[in-house]
Structures are given as structure tokens and as C-alpha cells.
Amino acid sequence: MRIPLYVEFKGKNVLIIGGGGVGASRAKKFLKAGANVRVLSLDFCNELKEMEKKGEVKLVEGNAFDEKLLEENISWANLVTVAIPPLEINDKVIELAKKYRTLVNLANDAEKTEVVVPFEGEVDGIRFAVTTEGKSGVVARKVRDSIKKMLEEDEEIIYFLKAMYYLKRYMKKRKIPIHMRMKLYFVISSNPEFVEMVKKEDVEGAKKLVEKLVEEYVSGKRDVDESSVKINF
């Protein structure tokens, strides 16, 4: 069972096996995340050659079936992506990756891959990723686009995010203990007055109310009654 995670790749090393379109796509993705990228292949598409000219990637010309060359590059990598059709390379990549504790993304085998690269989307700070784990990239894209459209049409959830983010920052600034913060996230988010302000897109009013409620709960003027919590979004 694969676990969905968002992983910081800034400064990490990524090896891509395959110099075609899929390899270029993976290279751009990890470059955008701040990774150091090498591409191992017998030949390279024009896009990758242009990226090398700009100093964005290192192209290693060679045969991935050359075990010495393959091991040398996998030992450098934190993640290796296989982006060539021959499945015969996969077992050797997996074997060497285990030796060096390198993660493996098989773009040519969705069932056997260790790491899945999903289809991503983002709306006003809400990021989401979708995969069908190899069943259908077309469907995964459609689901991603449906989520994006839903969020773009539901402005209320964006105002809710802004108000809740302010609540989080305010409580951390006030150094409210974590056990109290976890309770107040749910208690305040279900407060009828807070909910109404968010629905009316009054984020500034919601921020002021957040401060007032936090101070009342912390001072004991209000009791934290978790049994009455009901999320209305």
C-alpha cells in the first residue's frame, strides 16, 4: 500500500534513465522542485539538450544496461526514474536502488513502481494530486481537472482557508499549547458567527473574531465544548 506524501526535493539528487519526452517531462518536474537532475541515455531529445546548455541538467551519455555506469549513477541519486520502454532494466535498477537506499519511480511499470508521480493541481494554495496507479492517465487528468474546477467555483472554501490559516498563525504567535490549538481549530471553525462571516466573504471580520474567541477560550471565559463541534463547510 503506497502512502501519499508531499516530499521536499530541493537539493536532492534525481537520476532519470531515458532521454526522450517522458524523461524531459520528469526532468522539468524535479528541476522545478529544486532537485539536481542527471539524465542517463544513449541519446537525448532537443529539449533536454537545451536544458543542458542552460546548465539545468547533466546529461550522461551511455547505456543504462552497462551495470557499472548504472550503479555509479544510482549510488549518487536519492530517486531514480526509469523512463525507457524495456522492462528488462527494471529489476537491475530495483536491485541497485535497494543497495543504496534510493527510491524508484518506474514510468514504464505502474504496478511495480515504488514511487508514483501523480497528476497535480493547485488553486489558491490548496494543492492536490491524483493517480489511478496506472489504470488510466486520461481518467486521472479528468479527476484532477474536476477537482480544480470545483475549487475554483467554490470561493467559500478559499475564504475558509484564509481565515483558518490566520487562526493557526495567531495561536502559534500567542504560543498556545498544541493540545489547546488542536481543540480550538475545530471549536472555532464550527462557531456560527465565524461560519457566517466566512460565507459572507468577510475574512477581516473573521480574523478579528478569531482573536476574540482565542482570548476568551484561553482566559477561561469560554469553555471548550468539543461535543458541540460541527464543521459546516
Query: Tell me: the pLDDT tens digits for 8-21?
Result: 999 999 999 999 99
Residue 102: name the closest of 128, 131, 81, 116 by CA: 81
Per-residue confidence (pLDDT) for residue 226, from 0 to 100: 54
Per-residue confidence (pLDDT) for residue 203, from 0 to 100: 94
Per-residue confidence (pLDDT) for residue 30, from 0 to 100: 97
- 10-residue averages of pLDDT along the chain (233 residues): 92 98 96 97 97 97 97 98 95 97 96 94 95 94 97 93 96 93 93 94 95 92 63 44
* DSSP letters for 48-101: HHHHHHTTSEEEEES-TT-HHHHHHHHTT-SEEEE-SS-THHHHHHHHHHHHHT
Total-model pTM: 0.84
What Cα–Cα distance (Å) separates residue 231 from each residue in 140, 171, 185, 186, 216?
29, 20, 10, 7, 20
Per-residue confidence (pLDDT) for residue 130, from 0 to 100: 97
Per-residue confidence (pLDDT) for residue 181, from 0 to 100: 93
- Residues 114-130 pLDDT 10s: 999 999 999 999 999 99
Q: How far apart are CA 107 and CA 82, in angstroms?
A: 6
